[in-house]
Amino acid sequence: MLNDYSTAKKLLATRRSGKASQLEAPGPSETDLLWILEIAMRVPDHGKLAPWRFFIVGKKERSALNALFEAALKAEKPNADKKNYEKMNKLAHSAPCLVVVLAKVDKKSSVPIFEQHLSAGAACMNLLLAAHSLGFVGNWLTGWAAFSPTVIKSFGGEEGDLIAGFIFLGTEEKDIEERKRPDVKDIVHKWKSKNKE
Ligand SMILES: Cc1cc2nc3c(=O)[nH]c(=O)nc-3n(C[C@H](O)[C@H](O)[C@H](O)COP(=O)(O)O)c2cc1C
């Protein structure tokens, strides 16, 4: 039986990112957020390894997050200037809701690490779509902090683990303009074998 997926189609066709620094309250309630994270986990996962962890960084923890970024900059980027510190401070305090997605890999598994990272990326994408379905706007960012060993370690990351994203959620007052998308004709190709027998 064919289901009516018109609402889902509209949802998929309208998701857009906002700017983390412009996201305002309301963010998702605790109940909303738990549902969003349930959906985030509903991703293909080779080997059923669940190679992702979600860290909710509440508003009260944002100063501590900024302190962590500062400590990481100090330790790993001695030439960092005022602008670098300001950028990290802005990131730490952006949006009413922040989820840090850690790609937590199983190095002993036969499933390649790359596939485990892909699953973590898929979790980030599902998270954004779930938030969009509830009317929230998201922004998936990485930047310097996501690759900092100090920051990764503080989220429980070990060797091979990476921060897949800082996912900011909130509300945008104005409608977000659509951005230019690649033309499907430039991206999609019909593969033809060069092996003419
Ligand atoms: C893994 C990943 C990391 C990203 N990191 C950043 C970032 O650090 N800064 C940034 O401006 N955009 C970043 N982006 C892009 C935005 O999340 C977003 O996709 C972009 O603004 C395009 O908007 P759209 O999602 O509406 O197409 C990242 C995207 C991905 C997939």
- Residue 1 — very low, low, confident or very high, per pLDDT cuts 50/70/90? low
Distance 32 CA to ligand 1 centre (A): 23
- Residue 5 — very low, low, confident or very high, per pLDDT cuts 50/70/90? confident
pLDDT at 4 over 90: no
Q: Which residues are annotated as a binding site?
A: 15-17, 42, 46, 140-142
Delineate the domains of the chain, giving CATH numbers in brackets.
18-174 (3.40.109.10)
Percent of the chain with pLDDT over 70: 98
Q: Compute the distance between CA of residue 188 and CA of residue 192 in angstroms, rounded to an integer.
A: 13
Strands (E), the chain: 52-56, 97-103, 137-141, 162-170
* Pocket residue to mutate for ligand 1, from 11, 15, 16, 17, most atoms within 8 A of Cβ: 17
- At 67-92, the pLDDT tens digits run 999 999 999 999 999 999 999 999 99
Cis peptide upstream of residue 26 (ω within 30 degrees of 0): yes
What does the angle CA 148 – CA 60 – CA 68 come to, to the nearest 5 degrees?
20
- At 154-178, the pLDDT tens digits run 999 999 999 999 999 999 988 899 9
